[in-house]
Structure 1
Amino acid sequence: MPMNTRHRGDRRSLSVVVPLAPGETEWQGLLLQLAALPAGSEVIVVCADDESRPPPKSWPARLRYRECRTAPGRARQQNLGARLASGYWLWFLHADSRLRSDTLCELQRFMAEDADALGWFKLAFRRDGPRWTVLNAIGANCRARWLGLPFGDQGLVLPRHRFQALHGFDELARYGEDHLLVWAARHAAIPLRRIPASLETSARKYARQGWLSTTLRHWRLTAAQAWPAWRELRRRRA
């Protein structure tokens, strides 16, 4: 996947890629928080519709804001954002993500360590869904820490050259493009690093679709992808 090579020498430059689904309404709250990014960072919102999404009026001049469009599909949208990115680091955020007070500080520390790794954050759910989602957060954090399987709502961040070597997100996958990227990183022996800060995500889908049915569906789909990926990893290491 050819990518922009500007700022390759600035190993702390950051590009944030935010895919927006058609009709997405959660993105503005995230953008207000991203205004606190370090100078020279850029935010790329990748829309899957024709709606204009300008930055907030208070958007700081020290940050670059870019809006682009492609056909729907989070993998396709994130790949386009990565191709347009100029930063050394790529940080993929969902539109319903929210930062906590220590998120950016710990992210910058991770970047400053020049870790040639795929970083991820501890997951927490916002209070816009069933209270039982606290169990989902515990499960997600245990899965990421002990099984090495963080998902996209945990804010995956990695050097752009590493993302390029992995050939980006799988645009043919019907779901779980983030899950597949993590498996690809494991196959390539790229270290996975926990960043000691939290990132919040919305629990609205659990409210709309039901906590139990949504949880069981996620388990089923994850297992369906993880089993062949694990077998392939075991075969390569044999």
Structure 2
Amino acid sequence: MDSEHQISVIIPVLYGDDCWKTLIADLTSFPDSSEFLFVSNGEQPAEFSELIHQFQLEERSHWYQTLVGRAHQMNYGAAQATRPHLLFLHADSGLRETGIQRLIQSLKSHPNALHYFNLKFQDQSFCLMQLNTWGVYFRSHVLGIPFGDQGLCLSRALFQELGCFDEKASYGEDHLLVWNARRKGIALQCTGAAISTSARKYQQQGWFKMTVKHLWLTIRQAVPQFLLLIKERIGSWFQGKAPSSSS
């Protein structure tokens, strides 16, 4: 069986949040060689066993309980994973069969890349969310900064090379992983397919407030990472230009 088809899907779950229940139906479209690791800071709910039985996913679905913190939960899931590729998927994501097939093709074509999806919001009933969709496309395709809600996927070897997610970061562990990949020269590859995510935070807390907050946090974290990238590239350029010393 091709290793490109063997994917460990790691899903961090916050205790008390039940949006993972909707995601389970989408997992049935993954190849039979895939496995699904739900990592939560809470104990396994009774509904979990019922749902994975309903969708015949018992043999390859696991619920793990660990400390709170998305970076820690995803690192923990990666440590338990047994497949050669890791897909980090938010619990409120939606991924159709066509998207999964595009991911598999992308893994075949670019095995040494960090893969991601285009992002769409599940409820775009108010037009302002379309601006966010365009903004995400610009950020990921033009600026080269996809986020975790776009479904980051890479080989386990590359993930270990990147040093996993930064558990000391107060936020943006996915953002930092992408910058680390860029500094190491790892290509970013969009599958060309869409993944959906919930717009509930924008609805509950207000579109303007959430958009400005996310933009500010991104800039605050991206600027030092960009400067570090430039510094390292300039350093590499000078090292390449430096004359070799004769013995």
Q: Same fold (TM over 0.5)?
A: yes
Partner of 1:14: 7
Query: How far apart in 1 are the matches of 2:104 and 2:56?
Result: 19
Q: 2:155 aligns with which of 135, 159, 165?
A: 159
Structure having the higher helix fraction is 2
Partner of 1:195: 191
Larger radius of gyration: 2
Structure 2 portions without partners, runs of 5+:
235-247
Partner of 1:186: 182
Please report how far the alpha carbon of residue 110 of structure 1 lies from its aligned counterpart in structure 2 after TM superposition: 1.2
Q: 2:139 aligns with which of 136, 143, 146?
A: 143
SS state at 1:68 partner: strand
Alignment of 1:42-191 (within 5 A): 42-52=35-45, 53-54=48-49, 55-60=51-56, 64-127=60-123, 130-191=126-187
SS state at 1:218 partner: helix
Query: How far apart in 1 are the matches of 2:52 and 2:97?
Result: 20
Please report how far the alpha carbon of residue 11 of structure 1 lies from its aligned counterpart in structure 2 after TM superposition: 4.2
SS state at 2:190 partner: strand
| 2:44–2:65 CA contact under 8 A, matched in 1 | no
| 2:5–2:34 CA contact under 8 A, matched in 1 | no
| 2:39–2:74 CA contact under 8 A, matched in 1 | yes
Alpha-carbon deviations, 1:181-215, whole Å to 9, x = none? 10011111110001110000000000111000000
Alpha-carbon deviations, 1:100-130, whole Å to 9, x = none? 3521110111122252000010000011774
Query: How far apart in 1 are the matches of 2:102 and 2:132?
Result: 23
SS state at 1:123 partner: strand
Q: 2:32 aligns with which of 26, 30, 39?
A: 39
Alpha-carbon deviations, 1:68-125, whole Å to 9, x = none? 0111110000000000001111000000000135211101111222520000100000
| 1:128–1:202 CA contact under 8 A, matched in 2 | no
RMSD over equivalenced CA pairs, Å: 1.7
Look up the equivalent residue of 2:163 and give its one-letter code.
H
Deviates further, 107-116 or 77-86: 107-116
Look up the equivalent residue of 1:233 and give its one-letter code.
L
Query: How far apart in 2 are the matches of 1:121 and 1:87?
Result: 20
TM-score normalised according to structure 2 size: 0.89
| 2:6–2:85 CA contact under 8 A, matched in 1 | yes
- How many correspondences in the alignment? 231
Query: How far apart in 1 are the matches of 2:4 and 2:95?
Result: 23
Deviates further, 103-112 or 221-230: 103-112
Q: 1:225 aligns with which of 198, 221, 231?
A: 221
SS state at 2:135 partner: helix
Look up the equivalent residue of 1:88 and give its one-letter code.
P
Q: Percent identity?
A: 39
Query: How far apart in 2 are the matches of 1:12 and 1:114?
Result: 13
SS state at 1:206 partner: helix
| 1:130–1:206 CA contact under 8 A, matched in 2 | no
Query: How far apart in 1 are the matches of 2:144 and 2:168?
Result: 23
Query: How far apart in 2 are the matches of 1:77 and 1:65?
Result: 16
Closer, same or farther: CA 115–51 of 1 in aligned 2, 3 Å: closer
Query: How far apart in 2 are the matches of 1:148 and 1:173?
Result: 20
Deviates further, 20-29 or 126-135: 126-135
